[in-house]
Amino acid sequence: MTTAPTQTRFQLQKDRMLRAAAQCFNQKGFSGTSLRDVASVLGLTDAALYYYVRNKEELVYLCYIRAADLGREAMEKAREDGVDGMDVMLRYLRNHIEMMVGDRGPIAIMSEIPSLNPEHREEVLAVSRKHSAAFEAILADGIADGSIAPCDVRMTGNAIMGSINWIPKWYHGDQEMGHKLIDEFPKILARGLYGT
């Protein structure tokens, strides 16, 4: 039997690496970031990263998969706890923003998708489309139950998702600002969407 502590240690270190990589990619972009940059943030040699990834392309791909997984987790939790479409939407936004600015952040901005190899690019785009469709379904549910005013769910979804997905580009770890983002950003984004 394999030992769970070894797997856990590996997963914890890998997650730490992906958060450090997200920080570097968000600040410098794909072309401006090297494995050495990521290793430096972690206090490791760049050779140590090859235990976890083959190259920089795989690293950015894994960062994007992690971002998608956290977004899906935030949405599932919101759907479990929400009472109507508006409540689910607000909970999702809070959950997702809290992941971005809290202990699980930073999360990589998916701005370097063209840098991925074709197979990884298609997978990330498919996951992203699925997440966008799920968010649009929340908006549609809210319209149907009257908690969200009628709107173009595609355009509204893109506007809201674009706003929260860009947070890691300009948020740099100030905890007071992080709390304000969690508390205020969902309210700002929901203004004008309240139904009857």
pLDDT band of residue 175 (cuts 50, 70, 90) is very high
Mean pLDDT on 24-28? 93
What average pLDDT is seen over the chain? 93
Mean pLDDT on 21-26? 94
Residue ranges and CATH numbers for the domains of the chain are 4-190 (1.10.357.10)
Asked if residue 1 has pLDDT above 70, the reply is: no
pLDDT of residue 47: 86
In order, the DSSP letters of 17-86 are HHHHHHHHHHHHHHHH--HHHHHHHHTS-HHHHTTT-SSHHHHHHHHHHHHHHHHHHHHHHHHHH-SSHH
Question: Is residue 26 packed enough to be buried (19+ CB in 10 Å), middle (13-18) or exposed (0-12)?
Answer: buried
Mean pLDDT on 106-132? 95
- Using DSSP's 3-state secondary structure scheme, residue 148 falls into strand
pLDDT of residue 2: 43
Cα–Cα distance between 182 and 93 in angstroms, integer? 8
Percent of the chain with pLDDT over 90: 83
pLDDT tens digits, 64-98: 999 999 999 999 999 999 999 999 999 999 999 99
Nearest residue to 83 (alpha-carbon basis) of 149, 153, 145, 150: 145
Strand partners, 148: 194
- Contact residues for 94 (Cβ-Cβ < 8 A; gap 6+): 182, 186
Mean pLDDT on 156-178? 93
pTM to 2 decimal places: 0.91
